[in-house]
């Protein structure tokens, strides 16, 4: 049987692992050097920062982030489907050890585990997913894009290059944009990952806690 500690932490840890894996896959097959650090802000750098924000505003990065949100929610929902039985089994053992459940009811609940898990997925998981969706939707993606990408543009492109990128009139600059894209993603997406993770982590911990599952089981098997 799954231990109580692993039952309590499993959903949260697995979800965070999948988030990190999902982002690393984006650039795992294209090794790139460490991005250069952005220089201190001067008058010229302020102009470059403004240009960088305009480049971000005119890009599809926010649409990419929206797709990431949907993908993240789908992964978490799939995780619930796959692991609810294991977490529920651990919660049942905990109820038995804590004398909150008789041996007979524990035996009966274990026998009816598929039905209990199915009911949990239908009744409880949609509530958790809706809360997560609301939390993720409240994350300021544009601010995260600025935080991750503006220092990258400042450090790797001159003011003249940024102006040409914005206008997209120069083929060489366009090629440089393409060449720098893997590093740009590496600079930008971890910031979004961190903010999205912070938004849903409290709900993941609450929904996947042994106590939450115990409370559900006490009600469900009466």
Residues in the chain: 222
Predicted TM-score (pTM) of the model is 0.54
For 174-184, how does the pLDDT look when each residue is reduced to its tens digit (9 = 90+)? 667 656 776 77
Residue 36 lies in a domain: no
**Alpha helices (runs of H) in the chain, residue ranges in sequence order:** 4-27, 43-57, 61-97, 103-111, 113-123, 125-137, 141-156, 159-167, 171-207, 210-220
- Say if residue 8's pLDDT is above 70: no
69 pLDDT above the threshold of 60: yes
Instruction: Using only the alpha carbons of the chain, give its radius of gyration.
Output: 23
Measure the N-to-C terminal CA separation of the chain; round to a whole number of Å.
23
The answer to whether residue 151 sits within a structural domain is yes
Residue 88 lies in a domain: yes
- The owner of tokens 């009816």 is 112
Q: How many domains does the chain have?
A: 1
- Give a yes or no: residue 37 inside a domain: no
Is 31 within a domain? Answer: no
Tell me which residue range forms the domain holding 182: 4-23+44-220
Residue 129 is assigned to a structural domain of this protein: yes
Instruction: Report the run of H or E that residue 222 belongs to, with start and end.
Output: none
Name 212's Cβ contacts closer than 8 Å, sequence gap at least 6. Answer: 206
The reply to whether 32 falls in a domain is no
Residue 33 counted as domain residue: no
């Amino acid at each position: 049987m799954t231990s109580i500690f692993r039952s309590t932490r499993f959903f949260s840890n697995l979800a965070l692992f999948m988030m990190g894996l999902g982002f690393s896959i984006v650039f795992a097959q294209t090794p790139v050097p460490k991005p250069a650090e952005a220089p201190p802000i001067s008058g010229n750098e302020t102009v470059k920062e403004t240009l960088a924000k305009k480049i971000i505003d005119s890009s599809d990065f926010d649409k990419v982030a929206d797709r990431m949100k949907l993908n993240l929610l789908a992964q978490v929902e799939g995780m619930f489907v796959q692991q609810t039985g294991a977490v529920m089994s651990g919660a049942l053992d905990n109820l038995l050890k804590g004398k909150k459940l008789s041996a007979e009811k524990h035996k009966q609940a274990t026998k009816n585990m598929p039905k209990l898990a199915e009911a949990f997925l239908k009744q409880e998981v949609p509530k958790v997913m809706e809360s997560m969706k609301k939390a993720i939707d409240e994350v300021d993606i544009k601010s995260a894009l600025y935080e991750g990408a503006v220092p990258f543009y400042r450090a790797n492109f001159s003011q003249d290059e940024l102006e040409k990128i914005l206008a997209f009139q120069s083929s060489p600059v366009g090629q440089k944009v393409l060449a720098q894209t893997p590093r740009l993603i590496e600079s930008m997406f971890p910031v979004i990952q961190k903010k999205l993770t912070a938004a849903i982590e409290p709900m993941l911990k609450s929904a996947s806690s042994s106590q939450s599952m115990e409370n559900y089981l006490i009600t469900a098997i009466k």
